[in-house]
Amino acid sequence: MLNRDQEALAAPLLTRREDLLARLQAPGQWDLVVVGGGATGLGVALQAAREGLTVALLEANDLAQGTSSRSTKLVHGGVRYLAQGHWPLVREALHERRGLLDRAPHLAQPLAFVMPTYRWGEQAFYGAGLKLYEWLAASASLGKTRFLGRQATQASIAGVRTQGLRGGVQYWDGQFDDARLAVALARTAAREGACVINHVTVKSLIYEEGRVVGVRAQDAEQGAEFELRASCVVNATGVWVDGLRLADGRQRGQALPDLVSPSQGVHLVVDASFWPGDKALLVPKTADGRVLFAVPWLGKVLLGTTDTARADAPREPRPAHEEVDLILKEASRYLRKAPVRQDVLSAWAGLRPLVKAEATLSPPSGATQNISREHHVEVSASGLVTVTGGKWTTYHAMAEDVLRQARKQAGLKMPMRAMAEAYRLVGAPSPGSPAAGLTLPAGAHLYGSEQDWVKALPGGDTELTPGLTEGMVRFAARHEYARTVEDVLARRSRCLFLDAALAKALAPRVAEILAEELGIDPGLANFEALADDYARCP
Ligand SMILES: Cc1cc2nc3c(=O)[nH]c(=O)nc-3n(C[C@H](O)[C@H](O)[C@H](O)COP(=O)(O)OP(=O)(O)OC[C@H]3O[C@@H](n4cnc5c(N)ncnc54)[C@H](O)[C@@H]3O)c2cc1C
């Protein structure tokens, strides 16, 4: 393993697709094949590679294209679980929160939240809960929970509605750039020897004597199909896990019920003037009983979210008119300057993979193990390991649970290294170096220790828009697995999520650079249609 200085100096690995495909198609057997390149699958691949296993990860679309780029961007313990008495769950997540912030300080940082109070007794009630939250974090605490008077609340969150304001409570959690963190996980896994590839779909599982022994995959760009053999296959396809899981059941003649019920969460992005400053707003209980956040992020403000059950799980879910109404209506109750539809710069939705309680209580799948926390891991009678649920913040704990099960069922070798050792992700600046806040607009700071590599590329100083250079687009193509305009403008840069009209305007130039770098059609027309959707607030 590289030491810290070597890591900082090491040239970024190339993510040349021909090389990755050749590696995947070479004869041989992997210890682990992971299906799905969101937070969960990437966490598993990274941890497996760190533990000395040979691992391949296949993602059908782009890294984090599913739920993992559509979160509220909070690295958190889950304040809402306190009220339900799930203290051990919260304590574990708070511990994971600390670990995540330490591993990638350029992409994940502490953030102060303020909860304004308007009714008598609210401050004492919520304040006590948030004190408990701080206490549960113990040495992983990010800062003190403080009670604020009316004036101090106004001074710390200038955008709050002041009519009837009594005071507030300030507490600490974290925020991050979810899609860039996913890419950092992938690149770190690759540095540790994993073979990660996007735009490759797993079509089916391969069986021998009733056991899963590999996957059949298809290159989404060229259409070629190939097979991978593995001692263990991990189904980490998020809200889509039931696809492979139910097919696995059918193979054994079993009709399984679904494990996941998707729940849609919508975010609206508005200009920073609607919520100025560098602290987030938490409303613990809206009129319809949800949690509302206003989070300053990369120079804009995220408002969200909703929680709407869905029967389907489209690749690109869209916000419903009523969901937008709900967010705008609640925002107008707490924000001094209330946004309206015309103010929304980008509107997007993600699907939570909620695990059905009944499926975890009596697993009908022939599961041999069943860890029921916020996430769920099960091993089918044919050896398929399925993991879903949980949250971004706990990706590492989920990976450890998965590997424990994978080892047991496939007899994989034990870790070769001392895994308690802390690790940092590719691009993490050396400890102690100043990190620019994630509330500030995007820029070179998001590249951490790799900024000089990005600047040294052709067009390293040529801005397409403030915070996005030609060099960054080339870096995305050469070192960050980007293949399409969408990969670049939605997930390497977050422009689509922040300002969809701007993303559309930048797309033609990004397409030219990608065509030059990769020699393929980078899907400009598709992206322009997508950007129109994000810009159109239903
Ligand atoms: C609105 C919302 C807000 C949230 N906010 C937070 C937050 O602030 N903090 C937090 O910690 N958590 C948050 N979460 C939860 C968190 O985002 C999810 O738990 C996490 O992203 C799930 O990751 P995943 O890898 O399991 O799923 P995904 O990210 O969906 O990844 C699954 C991947 O599998 C791929 N796939 C599917 N089928 C195949 C196939 N056949 N072959 C290959 N690949 C396939 C998909 O393309 C997809 O990329 C939020 C979730 C939502 C919906």
61 lines ligand 1 (CB under 6 A): yes
238 CA from centroid of ligand 1 (Å): 5
454 lines ligand 1 (CB under 6 A): no
pLDDT in tens, 148-158: 999 999 999 99
Atom of ligand 1 nearest to the CA of 239: 30
350 CA from centroid of ligand 1 (Å): 8
pLDDT at site 365: 46
pLDDT at site 417: 60
35 lines ligand 1 (CB under 6 A): yes
Instruction: Classify the phi-psi angles of 414: left when phi > 0, otherwise alpha if psi is within -120 to 50, otherwise beta.
Output: beta
Report the 3 state secondary structure along 11-43.
Answer: CCCCCCHHHHHHHHHCCCEEEEEEECCCHHHHH
Question: Ligand 1, from 76, 392, 497: best to mutate by most atoms within 8 Å of Cβ?
Answer: 392
pLDDT at site 536: 96
Q: Which two tokens stand for residue 499?
A: 């300002």
User: In a structure prediction context, what are the per-residue pLDDT tens digits for the chain, which is 538 residues long?
Assistant: 445 455 545 799 999 999 999 999 999 999 999 999 999 999 999 999 999 999 999 999 999 999 999 999 999 999 888 877 888 889 999 999 999 999 999 999 999 999 999 999 999 999 999 999 999 999 999 999 999 999 999 999 999 999 999 999 999 999 999 999 999 999 999 999 999 999 999 999 999 999 999 999 999 999 999 999 999 999 999 999 999 999 999 999 999 999 999 999 999 999 999 999 999 999 998 888 889 999 999 999 999 999 999 999 999 999 999 999 999 999 999 999 999 999 999 999 999 999 987 766 554 444 433 333 589 999 999 999 999 999 999 999 999 999 999 999 898 877 766 566 678 999 999 887 777 799 999 999 999 999 999 999 999 999 999 999 999 999 999 999 999 999 999 999 999 999 999 999 999 999 999 999 999 999 999 999 999 999 999 9
282 lines ligand 1 (CB under 6 A): no
The length of the chain, given as a count of residues = 538
Closest residue by CA, ligand 1 atom 19: 391
197 lines ligand 1 (CB under 6 A): no
Domains of the chain in start order, with CATH, are 16-67+180-259+356-410 (3.50.50.60), 106-174+261-354 (3.30.9.10), 444-535 (no CATH)
Cis peptide before 305 (omega within 30 of 0): yes
43 lines ligand 1 (CB under 6 A): no
Atom of ligand 1 nearest to the CA of 40: 25
Q: Which two tokens stand for residue 237?
A: 């396809």
236 lines ligand 1 (CB under 6 A): yes
Beta strands 108-117 and 280-283, pairing class: parallel
The string of DSSP letters for 213-258 reads: EEEEEEETTT--EEEEEEEEEEE--GGGHHHHHHHHHHHTT--PPP
Closest residue by CA, ligand 1 atom 2: 71
Helices (H), 382-469: 395-410, 451-455
* Residues 404, 370: Cα–Cα separation, whole Å: 12
pLDDT at site 6: 53
pLDDT at site 200: 98
pLDDT at site 364: 44
pLDDT in tens, 329-376: 999 999 999 999 999 999 999 999 999 877 665 544 444 333 335 899
pLDDT at site 361: 55
452 CA from centroid of ligand 1 (Å): 31
198 lines ligand 1 (CB under 6 A): no
71 lines ligand 1 (CB under 6 A): yes
Closest residue by CA, ligand 1 atom 48: 66
Question: Ligand 1, from 310, 391, 396, 484: best to mutate by most atoms within 8 Å of Cβ?
Answer: 391
69 CA from centroid of ligand 1 (Å): 7
pLDDT at site 416: 63
215 lines ligand 1 (CB under 6 A): no
